[in-house]
A = this chain, B = another copy of it.
Amino acid sequence: MTNLIALPLGKREVTKAANRLAILEAAQAVFGELGYEAATVRDIIRRTGLASGTFYNYYRSKEELFEALSDDAARRLRPILRHQYETAPDFQAYIYGAVRAYFSFMAQEHETWQAKRPVGERQPIMHAETPEMTFIFHEVRDSIRAVIDRGDVRPVDADYLAGAAIALARDIGQQMLRRRPIDIDGATNFAVKMILGGVPALPTLKP
């Protein structure tokens, strides 16, 4: 989402990049609000102020936009999560770093994530069908599996643990965003304590 390359760009290029960005951000907001299925290309394009046809100058379909958003999330989150994974001295530190990075990420993009919705709209409990969610889910699960496989953590059920940790963090993250003020530290503290507090109690897996 950030234009890291600082080359002189003509107005046209700038506009094009800005439009692409605007569509991505609008899509992120709309998917967050409505979920993938309920979101329409119109909902997204309307938010950008662009014309309907313009959407198709950038993405061939809603599906492709979803992929682009996933890629975007991956590009921005993966290095952070990878860094946590590689530098954390132990499982505890990894979980802490990953959860905090994730919550910070969510909070940073909060204004697009949590755009004001029409009141009276059915409020879904949660929209997992969001590109960021999809990416995070797979990324973190793989890390947790790896940690367990490496033996850094007592042999517990890796899939259960990863699923539980992610589900938990996702939910708390969303709640965090709904509260004022947004308290990253508090949410991180809560989520990490829940996850790490639970692990020692887990049944050991017989190999």
Contact = CB atoms under 8 A, between A and B. Distances in A.
Contacts of A69: none
Contacts of A201: 193-194, 196-197
Given A38-B37, A126-B128, A201-B197, A191 B175 contact: no
B36 A124 contact: yes
Contacts of A128: 124-128
Contacts of A129: 35, 124-125
Contacts of A54: none
Contacts of A168: 164, 167-168
Interface in A27-64: 35-38, 63
A89 interface: no
Nearest to A179: B159
Task: Report, as a range, how many residues of chain A touch the other chain.
Answer: 35 or more
Contact of A175 (B63, B163, B174): B163
A139 to B, nearest CB: 12
B175 A203 contact: no
A202 interface: yes
B198 A194 contact: yes
A166 interface: yes
Q: Which 10 A-B pairs have the closest CB atoms?
A: A197-B201, A37-B37, A194-B198, A167-B171, A197-B198, A167-B167, A126-B128, A198-B198, A125-B128, A193-B201
22 contacts: A35-B129, A37-B37, A124-B128, A125-B133, A125-B134, A125-B137, A126-B128, A126-B167, A157-B190, A161-B194, A163-B174, A163-B175, A167-B170, A168-B168, A186-B203, A190-B202, A193-B201, A193-B202, A194-B194, A194-B201, A197-B197, A197-B202
